[in-house]
Chain A
């Protein structure tokens, strides 16, 4: 491109995008400020972008009184085990479906596709989990969502683009399907596997609805349900209600405590974000409309 001068349009465009970015980030920043404030600072927060005093009482409070430690471990558990399970099952299903020599391939593919378009819905899902005795079990958060047809189709499509020549020569050498999958297909499919693993991890980290309806036991709560409880327990007309005694001399609002819980809950995502985003972007390209 040849050199062009900075026009009035550029000026407005850059200004607009900058303002837009500030608007996007502001709620995050406000939450951070609230989490490091006490009741007094919170109640005249206004435009304050910086707490007069950074107080850590809200964090001390959630770590000494709440279930946050337990919730963290439970969230990590479901994210790690759940993601591993999704990725494994996706690879296991995608490989046979990608092969033209699979018997009844079309029928089986249609069985998977039906499950993507049509589902029993919220209540039958709930009753099934209940009847299987999985209520209040960590597995209720992992097993029912372990087979994700959308991921399987994406991975199948990717596998189908892999050159068959390599596979055929492996078969000549006497390799069986498991060897072909593990030694040839999986190593060649790293980008799509990483993308699906990240999708699955974000899904499990953020998932709150199943955790809310399937889990009542305090020892099995996840971070999302803790935030959710702090969100709905407040009567909107009494938002300013003080949540408890606070720490030592400092008074805390529910808002401070909730903000601290939010910061703690999104911490890992924000930390991983700069490194993982290129995989997400690649993911949306792989996932979109690759017919």
Chain B
């Protein structure tokens, strides 16, 4: 039974790992992976002299940290607010709406985002011109691009990310709330002293995991939204690998960049997992 999955795993997971050898070689497709000559880590030496790589590394960390700072707490707040809604039908409908964008690809969502921020037809510029301003080309603006990334990231994921918190909240023993009411607690007291502490372990676990994937700044989102005018602030490691490898065909160098990211990434993720394991007695895997 395991044979078919293991063969596919060997070919399509371990095969590309073998392909990583080209990061250490002067790869020429004609010679193939084995025959291409070793090049004494030239690609990795080049890495830290490459202005574009440094820029991509910097942008990756900035975008990722901003997302952690802003997109991470958003679903927690949303879940807390939704948890206070007592009209069940309203709660259900708004929650269903909130995770609709999660099920769309960034290609689809980007096609919508481009229209919302369009200088000619977009609603944002409609309001700007209504108040006498000039239309702004948001997606081509270095200062507006990152806020758009963060805002649209929240739009896509807030509802889905809130599900886990809402589920944790609904499993809180109602006796706790009743006891608190006896003691004269109002709903804000209950939120701060019962609800938030109950979801705290979940918040901490998800937060550490999120920190572990800090090098993933959102490849799908950025590749579909960015353009050369905003590369300065928007080009991340993954989009750089894509352009260097598949548009400029520097297969070996792009592989080296990707390998660098993967190695640092796995250290961070294993580190995050180790912290959680220590904190909560059971890890994620």
Contact = CB atoms under 8 A, between A and B. Distances in A.
B94 A111 contact: no
Contact of B81 (A17, A30, A89, A258): A17
Given A123-B245, A153-B285, A274-B96, A112 B9 contact: yes
Contacts of B224: 228, 231
A166 interface: no
Contacts of A230: 111
Interface string A127-146: 11000000000000001111
Contacts of A146: 8, 12
A274 B96 CA distance: 8
A153 B285 CA distance: 8
Given A46-B126, A121-B241, A258-B111, A236 B227 contact: yes
A289 interface: yes
B147 interface: no
Interface in A213-270: 213, 224, 227-228, 230-231, 236-237, 239-240, 255, 258-259, 262, 265-266, 269-270
A269 B11 CA distance: 32
Nearest to B19: A124
Interface stretch (B58-66, B192-200, B262-270): B262-270
A45 interface: yes
B108 A127 contact: no
B139 interface: yes
B8 to A, nearest CB: 5
A26 B116 contact: yes
A45 B5 contact: no
B112 to A, nearest CB: 4
A144 B220 CA distance: 19
Contact of B251 (A127, A258, A269, A273): A127
Interface in B125-142: 126, 137, 139-140
A291 interface: yes
B104 interface: yes
Contacts of A13: 81, 84-85
B229 interface: yes
Interface residues of A, number: 92
A147 B14 CA distance: 12
A108 B258 contact: no
B270 to A, nearest CB: 7
B35 interface: no
Contacts of B167: 281, 284-285
A27 interface: yes
Contacts of A54: none
Top 8 nearest A-B pairs (CB, nearest first) are A120-B16, A124-B19, A124-B16, A206-B105, A121-B258, A115-B13, A291-B282, A93-B5
Given A124-B255, A284-B164, 19 more contacts: A9-B187, A13-B84, A27-B109, A27-B112, A45-B126, A46-B126, A47-B126, A96-B1, A115-B9, A119-B17, A124-B15, A124-B19, A124-B22, A128-B11, A128-B16, A147-B12, A181-B1, A265-B108, A284-B163
29 contacts: A10-B85, A14-B85, A17-B82, A25-B100, A26-B123, A34-B121, A46-B123, A89-B5, A92-B5, A97-B2, A118-B266, A120-B15, A125-B16, A125-B19, A128-B19, A145-B12, A147-B8, A153-B285, A206-B107, A224-B105, A224-B108, A227-B111, A231-B110, A236-B140, A262-B108, A262-B111, A273-B96, A273-B100, A289-B284
